[in-house]
Every structure is written in structure tokens, then in C-alpha cells.
Structure 1
């Protein structure tokens, strides 16, 4: 654990960063659409191509979302089918290119323009 994370944890803070502190999120109080919304909002705030595991880990650190890795992966696949996120080829990223990943390949995920629009519209009528 990073020193600042230890300090935050020992002080009972919910997050390491003082300016963006959030309360722990109890996923049992959230319906599926709310969890997907939280993931998409996080991806809009951090528009990086991430593996499902990297996204899962960052959601646990920065949003204290307590869902499993497989749940995050399933939500990403659903949102890719809905056009809200893109499945991108990992090797193409090395050349600074964003290319759709083949269905059988492991992929990174990146928020799409439709995903950004959904966040900006407050998910009106989406789920």
C-alpha cells in the first residue's frame, strides 16, 4: 500500500485523494444499471484504454466499488454491445492507433463517443 493510502486508510478516509473523496459504495444498494453508470462515468473521467482488470482495480481504489472482476468484465462486454465502450486491440495501441479488437482476442476498453454522450445526457432513457 502506498504511504498516502495507508494514512488515508488509517484515518478512516474513503479515498486517497483529498479533493475527490467519495464514500464507500455498497453495491448491494445499487441496481445493475447504476453500477454500469458508475463504470461508464469513471471511464468518461479517465478516458484511457484499460483492461477489464485495470478498470476493476481502479474502481476499487477510486470509487470503492465492490463488485467482482467478472462482473466488471461482463458489464464492459454488455456496454460494448450497446455501443457505449469500444473493445480495442491492445497491440494497435502501441502504434497509437485505436482499432477494434477481434472477437476472440483479449481487448482493452475505451469509452466511445456514444458513451460520452450518455454520460453528458445523464443517461436519459438509456437503461
Structure 2
């Protein structure tokens, strides 16, 4: 395996590890009623589909699974994706193979899967807007 490929696999592994582990050290109270980093929300004043993903991750990593789903129901999908990416890139680093990068580069997604994902994102966006306006 070339050095650059090994470096890319290490980068994928470290990034996935940080994304999965970092929220466990945070507390939800630190992010309540604070200014948001979301550019979409700062410009428009309304939540985007991924708003509260960080709060969802923090809740999940601290064992508050219902709270995690309340903040953003898409977090479990994100968590599964990064967990698979973490394990796959670790496998590549240990064995010297290049499976993760090859699969990511050659990934073909079916139209039905894209439509399903798009519908999920729209539903979560509606959920975020209803929460923002205190309808639910």
C-alpha cells in the first residue's frame, strides 16, 4: 500500500474516531441557549435539516437515546455510517488493504435510496421547523 493511501486511511480513521467519541465528553447544557454555528440558521433565522445534530450526538453518547432522537432523528443513520467507516478504515490500516477508499470512490447509490434519503431529510427539516415554532 502506498504511503499516501495509508495516510488517507489514517485520516478517515482519525476523523471517524473524533466524530464518534468527542460528543461523549460534552454536556448538552453547554449548548442550550447559545449562539449557533449553523450558517443557514444565522442567515435565514430558521433551522436547517441538520440543526441540533451535535446535541443529538451528545445526548446519544451520554445514554439519552430518546433525547437524541428528539434533537435530530437522522443521528442514528449518521452514527451507523461513521461506525462502519471507522471499523473499515481500521481494518485497512491493520491489513494494508485499500477497501474503504476503493468502495468510497466507486460507490454507486440507487435512485430509490437517494429518494428515500431526500424524503427523510425533508421530514427532519419539517420536524425541526415544528420544534422551532413550538408546535410539538
> Normalization by structure 1: what TM-score?
0.30
- Higher normalized helix content (fraction of residues): 2
Larger radius of gyration: 2
- Higher normalized strand content (fraction of residues): 1
> Normalization by structure 2: what TM-score?
0.29
> Relative CO higher for 1 or 2, CA cutoff 8 Å, sep ≥ 6?
2
